[in-house]
């Protein structure tokens, strides 16, 4: 049975109902890698706005709840803000990240699972971007294992630059949790971060290989590498830079 949390548990149950109404079909593998006790840093690729709600499902069989690091602006929203704070997610102020990092370390030392999106923003090419090293540094500082997680399909529900689809979608979503990665005190953080990215990229490609064909009307949500019309990583970098100058983040 899922451990009880006065805010988080009811929200999880509510979202599971919403997912059922949407017809989302989840295929989760590797969930046994999520520890039943103790800290872990869950590092996840980022292609859609609901990735954090989907990734958290992988921890439920182990009766765990994930405390996700999310941008500070969503904590200011009148609806999502109180819920996120009640679920003890971690606000990330990109202009002053030291406090957020400290809160994440506190959560790990308290035995929590902390969810991190090392790309920081949604990848508009749907290919993994460069990873920031914060998740690896947190694991190294606390001795927590890293749980590499790949998600595919969430971009078809809602992603940056495209309309959201919150009604009946019948979209399949694949989630894979890889074997835990341990970070020793003497390990090079940059090298481990690259290894985590390579691992998640491999798992993502495996999910894509078995994913059902996407309708022609959604080819813009498929990477160029797979014959879709999404921007290449290079083109996406230009688009994302333009959005940043306009103050759009995701």
Domains and CATH numbers, the chain: 7-13+22-246 (3.40.1130)
The C-alpha atoms of residue 179 and residue 34 are separated, in whole angstroms, by 9
Q: Which residues have C-beta within 8 Å of that of residue 86, sequence separation ≥ 6?
A: 6, 7, 8
Q: Give residue 138's pLDDT.
A: 98
151-194: pLDDT as tens digits: 999 999 999 999 999 999 999 999 999 999 999 999 999 999 99
Per-residue pLDDT of the chain in tens (250 residues, 90 and over written 9): 466 799 999 999 999 999 999 999 999 999 999 999 999 999 999 999 999 999 999 999 999 999 999 888 888 888 889 999 999 999 998 666 788 999 999 999 999 999 999 999 999 999 999 999 999 999 999 999 999 999 999 999 999 999 999 999 999 999 999 999 999 999 999 999 999 999 999 999 999 999 999 999 999 999 999 999 999 999 999 999 988 887 766 6
The C-alpha atoms of residue 116 and residue 70 are separated, in whole angstroms, by 8
Q: Give residue 79's pLDDT.
A: 82
Q: Give residue 246's pLDDT.
A: 78
The C-alpha atoms of residue 10 and residue 4 are separated, in whole angstroms, by 9
- Cα 33 to Cα 12, 42, 119, 139, 145, distances in angstroms: 20, 11, 22, 16, 10
Contact present, 215 and 156 (Cβ < 8 Å):
no
The C-alpha atoms of residue 215 and residue 172 are separated, in whole angstroms, by 12
Q: What are the DSSP E strand ranges found in the chain?
A: 25-29, 40-44, 66-71, 90-92, 113-116, 146-152, 172-177
Beta bridge partners of 174: 27, 152
Its pTM stands at: 0.95
Q: Give residue 205's pLDDT.
A: 98
């Amino acid at each position: 049975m899922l451990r009880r949390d006065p805010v988080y548990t009811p929200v999880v149950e509510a979202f599971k109902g919403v997912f059922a109404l949407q017809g989302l079909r989840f295929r989760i593998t590797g969930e046994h890698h999520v520890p039943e006790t103790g800290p872990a840093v869950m590092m996840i690729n980022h292609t859609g706005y609901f990735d954090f709600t989907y990734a958290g499902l992988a921890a439920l069989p182990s009766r765990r709840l994930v405390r996700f690091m999310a941008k500070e602006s969503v904590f200011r929203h009148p609806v999502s803000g109180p819920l996120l704070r009640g679920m003890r997610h971690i606000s990330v102020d990109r202009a002053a990240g030291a406090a957020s990092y400290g809160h994440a370390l506190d959560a790990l030392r308290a035995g929590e699972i902390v969810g991190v999106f090392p790309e920081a923003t949604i990848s508009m090419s749907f290919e993994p971007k460069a990873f920031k090293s914060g998740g690896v540094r947190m694991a190294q500082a606390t001795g927590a294992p890293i749980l590499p997680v790949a998600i595919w399909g969430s971009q078809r529900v809602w992603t940056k630059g495209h309309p959201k689809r919150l009604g009946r979608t019948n979209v399949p979503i694949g989630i894979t949790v890889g074997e835990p990665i341990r970070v020793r005190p003497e390990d090079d953080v940059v090298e481990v971060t690259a290894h985590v990215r390579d691992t998640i990229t491999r798992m993502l490609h495996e999910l894509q290989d078995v994913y059902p064909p996407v309708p022609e009307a959604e080819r813009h949500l498929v990477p160029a590498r797979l014959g879709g019309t999404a921007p290449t990583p290079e083109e996406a970098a230009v688009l994302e830079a333009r959005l940043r100058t306009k103050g759009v983040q995701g």
